[in-house]
Amino acid sequence: SDLYEMIALLALVVPSVAALQLAAVGPSPAVARTFQPVMAEMANGKMQFENVGREWRCKWNDDGGGKASSQTLVDIADLVDEYLPALKALEGAVVNRAVCGGCLDFKLCTTVPLSTFGPWEEAGHPPEAEFLEKLKAIDGVSFVETQTMTNQVL
């Protein structure tokens, strides 16, 4: 029908909006399969997710300037700037940065769809090894760690 043609065209431009519209009008099973994301389950099916985040984190030393002027944070920011294009080049990647001036945490989390995560994980999460090596070399950085976790908007 014309409605499905319009929604299919919209799907090329805005996939999430098209998926919502298809759900609202009750698409044919063939069309619905086309727009369903890959979902995984845990907690006996009570939690579903389609995205996985890889977090790189550390503690940073407050040299007296706090988060407003810490040289350690400046150096970390420069390192992030160096590697951000490679992270954003991952299919469907969203990169988030979190900094706490109270507990002196720095976290960089790259979230990707399941379909991207598998191959990225098998390859060792590049450029993770390089990034972490340089992060550890920054004066004032300690407790460098990584963590993989689901990351789903509810």
68 vs 64: CA distance, rounded Å? 10
pTM of the complete model? 0.74
Question: What's the CATH architecture for 49-150?
Answer: 2-Layer Sandwich (3.30)
Angstrom CA distances, 19 to 2, 58, 114, stand at 16, 38, 18
The strand pairing partners of 73, in sequence order, are: none
Give the phi and the psi of residue 88 in degrees, each rounded to 5: -70, -20
- Which pLDDT does position 45 carry in this prediction? 87
pLDDT of 7: 42
> Which residues in the chain are classed under CATH 3.30.70.100?
49-150
10-residue mean pLDDT series, the chain (154 residues) = 43 39 43 59 89 98 88 97 98 97 96 97 98 98 98 89
**Contact partners, residue 51, CB within 8 Å, separation at least 6:** 111, 112, 113, 114, 117, 150, 151, 152
